[in-house]
Amino acid sequence: MDSTQTFQVFNRGPSPAARLVFFAVLSLLLMFVDARFRYLESTRSALSVLVSPLQRLATMPMLLMQQAGDFFVTQNSLLLDKKALQRQHGIDSVQLVQQQALLQENMQLRNLIALQKRNQYTGQFAEIVYTERDVFRRKVLINKGSVASVLPGQVVMDDKGIVGQITRVFPWLSEVTLITEKDHAVPVQVLRNGLRSVTFGAGDTSQLSLRYMPVSTDIQNGDILVTSGIDGIYPPGIPVAKVEKIERDAAYPFARISCLPIGGVDKYRQLLVLSAAPKLPERPEPEPVAVRGKLKKSGGH
């Protein structure tokens, strides 16, 4: 170091030691100011204009590589993805079907609740638990019995119309005879003109018939039959069936009228058991046949 100073022929400015001291002090000062006061942020941002292109250039290969890696997805991972998606799809589709069934059920339950509110009948929900094994016997068993104070003769309906009638009651179950049971009678009225009649179950899967209606009777296809309330068992005004086909054959005294039930007799699981209708006064004893004959005769006079 001494030699460089002693043999200095050309003027090279201050010696390296002087420069070292100067710049070291400057650096220390900068560090102190930066650490204590943070005055140098603007200087830093101005200088970063010089450096940031370099930095961007430095990080670019990595970014490009990542993008290329994203692009060249291996076939294996695609296959794995596909398999996972298919499995998920299977699970989801099962859930979707369940959800659709639940939606259906929910809708029907809402309808039942609305029905219960609309009419003044109180009723209780019941669910079909068994059906009859014999296809010709139109009966089902529901999960409410005498424990739930279900009585024989109560009417069972769904949100659209009459389904049947309680015929036997067990402690936890009761038997519902559907209106399509053979010879099961429901007193009805034609909604259009108030014509009284009685529907009978036809005994096959889903038909009712109106018997003993004269050929000339005023009934049309599409007529709605509602309960008449006669008999005191069925509450009046509940839809029962819709006239489907009328055969008027002059050779027979009666028209053959077949109807389809309006309620979902063989459709849903949820039913509404109506409370018993108010009891009617006792039906008077029928007159003895002999007396009636006498009266007729006397009437003839």
Partner 1 sequence: MPFLNHTQPEILRPVSTMFIVTSIVVALLLNGLPWGGLWLALRPDFVAVVLLYWCTHKPLRIGVGLSWAIGILADVGDASLFGQHALAYTLLAFGGVVLSRRIRMFDLREQTTQVLLILFSTYAIYALVHWQVNGQIVWPYFLGCLTSTLLWVPMSSLFQSMRQMRVDRE
**What count of Cα atoms within 13 Å lies in the side-chain half-sphere of residue 66?**
4
Give the shortest CB-91-to-partner 1 separation in angstroms.
Answer: 40
Tell me whether residue 24 or residue 80 sits nearer to partner 1 (CB atom). Answer: 24
* Min separation Cβ 6 and partner 1, Å: 14
- CA–CA dist 243, 262 (Å, integer): 10
Of residues 44 and 82, the one with the C-beta less far from partner 1: 44
Q: How far is residue 240's CA from residue 224's CA, in Å, rounded to a whole number? A: 8
Question: 53 vs 152, which CB is nearer to partner 1?
Answer: 53
Tell whether the torsion through CA atoms of 190, 193, 194 and 195 is positive or negative. Answer: negative
List residues binding partner 1 (CB under 8 A).
Answer: 1, 12, 16-17, 19-20, 23-24, 26-31, 33-35, 40, 43-44, 47-48, 50-51, 54-55, 57-59, 62
Is-contact 259 244, C-beta < 8 A? yes
153: left (phi over 0), alpha (psi -120 to 50) or beta: left
Comparison of 47 and 80: residue with beta carbon closer to partner 1: 47
Comparison of 56 and 89: residue with beta carbon closer to partner 1: 56
For the CB of residue 54, give the shortest distance to partner 1 in the complex, in Å. Answer: 5
Its sign, for the CA torsion 173, 179, 184, 186, is: positive
Strand partners, 225: 190, 241
Place of tokens 């029907």: 108
For tokens 């046949």, what's the residue?
289
CA distances from 146 to 120, 121, 139 (A): 22, 19, 18
Q: Are 159 and 117 in contact (CB under 8 A)?
A: no
Q: Which residue, 13 or 299, has its beta carbon nearer to partner 1?
A: 13
| Minimum gap (Å) between residue 28 Cβ and partner 1 | 7
Minimum separation from the CB atom of position 38 to partner 1 (A) = 10
Q: Choose between 62 and 135: whose C-beta lies nearer to partner 1.
A: 62
Distance between CA atoms of residues 142 and 113, nearest Å: 18
Q: Minimum distance between the CB of residue 77 and partner 1, rounded to whole angstroms?
A: 24
Give min distance, CB of 10 to partner 1, in A. 9
